[in-house]
A = this chain, B = another copy of it.
Amino acid sequence: MSTVPLSSTERTRLGRSRERGRTDRAELYRVLDDGRICHLGVVVGGAPRVIPTGYGRIGDTLYLHGSTGARSLMSGPSGEVCVTVTHLDGIVVARSAFHHSVNYRSAMVFGVPRPVTDPGEKLAALEAITERLAPGSWSRARLPNRKELAATAVLALSLEEASVKVRQGPPVDDEEDHALDVWAGVVPVRTAFGAPVPDPLLRPGIPAPASLTSW
């Protein structure tokens, strides 16, 4: 895995809130490996389109899940896409409306994705995508057959050009507002997983795997 710092290109240099930028590649991996879905931005007919989709990471490659023929996988003449993964970590409640904010971690990846055609790479990519969604599933489930593999489009996107933004901590109010009789602080936000609900068609006597109940 690369230890090269995150790239500094025109679009990964942060236009505002520079202090929120992170240049540590490990931080990029953490943000990506903590998410379940990404938002894939493409250009269609000159206009942007933002599609939620599944993804997985192997080293410095992000793999995106798609269906063959899905319009989402074609992005304008340049073929460039932007993949954003965002974690909302807290609602930042300030004494002033102006300083309300959110605590978050967000990664943006830019580039021209490559369709994955090699069956071995495709299988590995699908494993990464499936495991990101449901840890432990790949070793339990029936693996894709040839027809299913052909029906699944996978894109590979290099993590070469990427940026990470993070905001954590309490509100930053104006000094003179500290005297106000108004509560200020952070309401933590997290993604919570409930108890697994069995498929009504599940055969009796098959317990939910520990990897899905320990979330």
User: How many residues from A make CB contacts under 8 Å with B?
Assistant: 100
A172–chain B nearest beta-carbon distance, Å: 9
| Chain A, range 145-194, C-beta contacts under 8 Å to B | 145, 148, 151-152, 170-171, 173, 177-194
Complex: A199 Cα to B16 Cα, angstroms: 24
In this assembly, does A52 line the interface, its C-beta being within 8 Å of a C-beta of chain B? yes
Task: Specify how many copies of this chain sit in the oligomer.
Answer: 2
In this assembly, does A76 line the interface, its C-beta being within 8 Å of a C-beta of chain B? yes
Contacts of A91 in B (CB 8 A): 36, 133-134, 193, 212
The residue from B97, B152, B181 contacting A143, defined by CB atoms under 8 A apart: B97
Complex: A142 Cα to B186 Cα, angstroms: 17
Contact A138 B97 (CB under 8 A): yes
In this assembly, does A1 line the interface, its C-beta being within 8 Å of a C-beta of chain B? no
Complex: A67 Cα to B88 Cα, angstroms: 19
The residue from B37, B69, B97, B145 contacting A141, defined by CB atoms under 8 A apart: B97
Contact A187 B206 (CB under 8 A): no
Contact A181 B203 (CB under 8 A): yes
In this assembly, does A28 line the interface, its C-beta being within 8 Å of a C-beta of chain B? no
A126–chain B nearest beta-carbon distance, Å: 6
A158–chain B nearest beta-carbon distance, Å: 15
Contact B193 A209 (CB under 8 A): no
The residue from B86, B141, B170 contacting A95, defined by CB atoms under 8 A apart: B141
**Besides A97-B126, A183-B196, A189-B194, 14 other CB < 8 A contacts?**
A15-B71, A15-B72, A37-B102, A37-B104, A39-B50, A41-B41, A41-B50, A43-B47, A50-B82, A88-B191, A96-B144, A98-B151, A98-B152, A184-B201
Question: 18 A-B pairs, CB-CB below 8 angstroms?
Answer: A40-B50, A47-B76, A48-B82, A54-B102, A91-B212, A93-B137, A96-B141, A97-B130, A98-B142, A141-B182, A171-B199, A173-B201, A179-B203, A183-B196, A186-B196, A186-B199, A188-B194, A188-B197
